[in-house]
Chain A
């Protein structure tokens, strides 16, 4: 799932950024690194997205949004539970 098709308002976690080194680094510098939790709060008309983490708002164009792979934050909690169960076994 990418930022382009992820649902609005739901917390997601950044998995991977599929851009060239320079732009991936810059995204990291403005706060979008692997493991960061964020929400998509606005959808633009041609695929652009506005994301929120904390009080910061970042506007991304459609191409960049498509390059950021995310997963639902809820999965995080579920996966932790599963790992916990396995350890107990």
Chain B
């Protein structure tokens, strides 16, 4: 199958065009040995091939945007490798270079480098409608003539219009395309696999010649360097204004934060309660068909409390993830993300992070999962991984529910202050872990100087938006569902296995402590002795909390046999049954220093690991090694601060 690689500058609508060409049939994966994602898909060329009379299939590969073949980031390196057939990727049979009609000089410069690789090359011209509106439209035929016959096709990046013409040109292009005069093909491009240095040397040596060539083509196109004030300039007067820019940015940030939490919340509740109720009723009715014995037995428990619980848990993440993907696409496609990067650059640079890292970290205080999704916007994969490893330390709203219960139980008059301090600790931990990571795992990662081409503002198209959101949601579900459902089934199993003779039947264990899960909690509990909460109730809650933080309070109630209404009373006055039982057991495990142990427990909950869905998403985005490191880092940091806090505070409390 012939392989066609797409390259172009960042923010020229290359990925939208790519997705529009392939419809929903794309697959995103990491380039071999990296955390940089590339998208592939099979393109079906409808016109029958001469010999077989059947449609042809081509392998289309999309690469990260790059300004040049002399890469400045791992992402750009992947684009270069995809073109030269390095790092385990095959040499392409044809290259489509996407040119931005509103930024011809840097587009042509990249084209010149790609052409000199000697592969068949065709040009897809995007943003031409925008260029025409600005009065500097590019005539594709004129450009093609200036390029000595190289095929040039106008493609609308958002709708994919022009795709068929592009396909025709690709089909003809496999047999070879003309090399414009003034450019020289380099034979060493695809010779050996270890030629990174040679490529660098080649890129630098011909730079003058290519820049001259670019200037000549621009002259031929009659593109004037006028002092035009575009619509985008006018909008930028406000959005990049030293004062208004920050205000707008904070407003956008707040909106994203609210949308992924408050807006998603009713939908999540509906799925968790109403939809779950429908499914449970349906299952009951189905099982009822098999006779009264089946209904109420362990099969029902397995299906409802195990499998269904797992599926519902995955579904509850869809509203927040869907909203995040939608907002991200809107912010990127409209062109605003680049402005946000500029506004926040200085502040984040002081922390050694990219300006765009602000969004994921702030969103993380609502929910870690969409925050991880938001790291996509960072153009450098190392910055993405670094930010992704800091996100779990943002205290999400699910952790807040745990903070509230314990704060009310142990510090009834100062609950609000305690919760506030937890957030202060969260921010501090993010900063400190950031410093730690930059001196160890990411040593040498300095934020690159910001040299960012600002794309023109555009209105994202609704159909494209929805399609890309659905695609990404599907990817998330595929990555997260297996691991979450599996974990929940394991927990169900552990809680269902009775370990004592009179504990009740399988899947009907009365006291959680008597089940295999209770044994597990007992085994883990002594680890927390230095932190003052080596009580099986605490470790049982923490293990459930690994799956989802929202469940911690519920599982604590369950383990204490406190009824569900008890914990809401605990929220309010600290006098509820749960609050009392917590005080008793924490007091016992800490030998009288209940409050210190409570603080230690809170700190541990803050930092230990994010929920399983977040870990699964991290694994999907960054690979198993990074996810494992992140989990171990979180556990280590959580343990250290919990132990230190307990040992210091018990001298006082």
Across the interface, which residues of B come within 8 angstroms of A41, CB to CB? Answer: 233, 236
If A48-B342, A55-B131, A59-B338 touch, whether A25 touches B70 (CB-CB below 8 Å) is yes
Please give me the 3 A-B residue pairs with the lowest Cβ-Cβ distance, nearest first.
A46-B346, A61-B450, A45-B242
> A residues near B, CB below 8 A?
11, 19, 22-23, 25-31, 33, 37, 39, 41-48, 50, 52-64
Nearest residue (CB) in A for B355 is A61
Across the interface, which residues of B come within 8 angstroms of A59, CB to CB? Answer: 338-339, 341-342, 450-454
Partner of A54, one of B70, B72, B225: B225
Partner of A57, one of B136, B207, B242, B453: B453
Q: How far is the CB of A68 from chain B (nearest CB, A)?
A: 10
Partner of A25, one of B204, B228, B237, B452: B204
A45 to B346, CA, bound (A): 9
Across the interface, which residues of B come within 8 angstroms of A64, CB to CB? Answer: 449-451
Asked whether B454 lies within 8 Å of A50 as measured between CB atoms, the reply is yes
Nearest residue (CB) in B for A46 is B346
A-contact bits for B428-465, CB 8 A (1 contact / 0 none): 00000000000000000000111111100000000000
Asked whether B349 lies within 8 Å of A31 as measured between CB atoms, the reply is no
Nearest residue (CB) in A for B349 is A61
Across the interface, which residues of A come within 8 angstroms of B230, CB to CB? Answer: 55
Partner of A29, one of B103, B207, B240, B347: B207
Asked whether A22 lies within 8 Å of B72 as measured between CB atoms, the reply is yes
Identify 6 new A-B residue pairs, CB closer than 8 A, beyond the known A39-B227, A59-B450, A59-B453. A26-B67, A28-B211, A45-B242, A45-B343, A48-B450, A60-B452
Asked whether B342 lies within 8 Å of A50 as measured between CB atoms, the reply is yes
Nearest residue (CB) in A for B214 is A31
Partner of A52, one of B104, B136, B233: B233
Asked whether B232 lies within 8 Å of A61 as measured between CB atoms, the reply is no
A73 to B102, CA, bound (A): 24
If A37-B225, A39-B227, A52-B233 touch, whether A29 touches B67 (CB-CB below 8 Å) is yes
A46 to B344, CA, bound (A): 10
Could you show 12 A-B contacts with beta carbons less than 8 Å apart?
A29-B67, A29-B70, A29-B106, A45-B246, A45-B343, A46-B347, A53-B225, A56-B102, A56-B103, A59-B451, A62-B346, A64-B450
Tell me which residues from 88 to 113 in chain B have a Cβ below 8 Å from any Cβ of chain A: 102-106, 109
Q: How far is the CB of B149 from chain A (nearest CB, A)?
A: 26
Nearest residue (CB) in B for A56 is B103
With an 8 Å Cβ cutoff, the count of chain B residues facing the other chain is 49
Asked whether A29 lies within 8 Å of B342 as measured between CB atoms, the reply is no
Partner of A42, one of B223, B236, B453: B236
Across the interface, which residues of A come within 8 angstroms of B449, CB to CB? Answer: 19, 23, 60-61, 63-64
Asked whether A45 lies within 8 Å of B67 as measured between CB atoms, the reply is no
Is B219 at the interface (CB under 8 A from chain A)? no
Is B329 at the interface (CB under 8 A from chain A)? no
Is B345 at the interface (CB under 8 A from chain A)? yes
Tell me which residues from 63 to 101 in chain B have a Cβ below 8 Å from any Cβ of chain A: 67-68, 70, 72
Across the interface, which residues of B come within 8 angstroms of A26, CB to CB? Answer: 67-68, 70, 72, 451
Q: How far is the CB of A73 from chain B (nearest CB, A)?
A: 11
Most buried by B among A28, A37, A42: A42
Nearest residue (CB) in B for A62 is B346
If A41-B233, A62-B346 touch, whether A27 touches B451 (CB-CB below 8 Å) is yes
Is B226 at the interface (CB under 8 A from chain A)? yes
Asked whether A33 lies within 8 Å of B211 as measured between CB atoms, the reply is yes
A27 to B342, CA, bound (A): 17
Across the interface, which residues of A come within 8 angstroms of B136, CB to CB? Answer: 54-55
Asked whether A30 lies within 8 Å of B67 as measured between CB atoms, the reply is yes
Asked whether A58 lies within 8 Å of B451 as measured between CB atoms, the reply is yes
Asked whether A30 lies within 8 Å of B106 as measured between CB atoms, the reply is yes
A67 to B343, CA, bound (A): 20
A42 to B338, CA, bound (A): 14
Nearest residue (CB) in B for A53 is B225
Across the interface, which residues of A come within 8 angstroms of B228, CB to CB? Answer: 55
Across the interface, which residues of B come within 8 angstroms of A30, CB to CB? Answer: 67, 106, 451, 453
Tell me which residues from 186 to 231 in chain B have a Cβ below 8 Å from any Cβ of chain A: 204, 207, 211, 223-228, 230
Asked whether A29 lies within 8 Å of B236 as measured between CB atoms, the reply is no
Partner of B207, one of A11, A25, A31, A55: A25
If A23-B449, A25-B204, A64-B449 touch, whether A57 touches B232 (CB-CB below 8 Å) is yes
A55 to B245, CA, bound (A): 22
Q: How far is the CB of A44 from chain B (nearest CB, A)?
A: 6
Nearest residue (CB) in B for A26 is B72
A63 to B236, CA, bound (A): 21
Is B141 at the interface (CB under 8 A from chain A)? no
If A23-B449, A55-B103 touch, whether A50 touches B131 (CB-CB below 8 Å) is no
If A29-B68, A50-B236, A62-B346 touch, whether A56 touches B450 (CB-CB below 8 Å) is no
Across the interface, which residues of B come within 8 angstroms of A25, CB to CB? Answer: 70, 204, 207
Asked whether A54 lies within 8 Å of B211 as measured between CB atoms, the reply is no
Across the interface, which residues of B come within 8 angstroms of A62, CB to CB? Answer: 346
A61 to B223, CA, bound (A): 28
Asked whether A56 lies within 8 Å of B68 as measured between CB atoms, the reply is no
A56 to B102, CA, bound (A): 7
A58 to B342, CA, bound (A): 10
Is B274 at the interface (CB under 8 A from chain A)? no
A60 to B240, CA, bound (A): 12
A43 to B241, CA, bound (A): 7
Across the interface, which residues of B come within 8 angstroms of A57, CB to CB? Answer: 232-233, 236, 453-454
Q: How far is the CB of A65 from chain B (nearest CB, A)?
A: 10
Nearest residue (CB) in A for B70 is A25
Across the interface, which residues of A come within 8 angstroms of B243, CB to CB? Answer: 45
Most buried by B among A27, A55, A56: A55
Most buried by A among B224, B236, B246, B346: B346
A55 to B349, CA, bound (A): 28
Asked whether B342 lies within 8 Å of A56 as measured between CB atoms, the reply is no
Nearest residue (CB) in A for B136 is A55
Asked whether B453 lies within 8 Å of A58 as measured between CB atoms, the reply is yes
Asked whether A55 lies within 8 Å of B72 as measured between CB atoms, the reply is no
Q: How far is the CB of A32 from chain B (nearest CB, A)?
A: 8
Is B624 at the interface (CB under 8 A from chain A)? no
Is B49 at the interface (CB under 8 A from chain A)? no
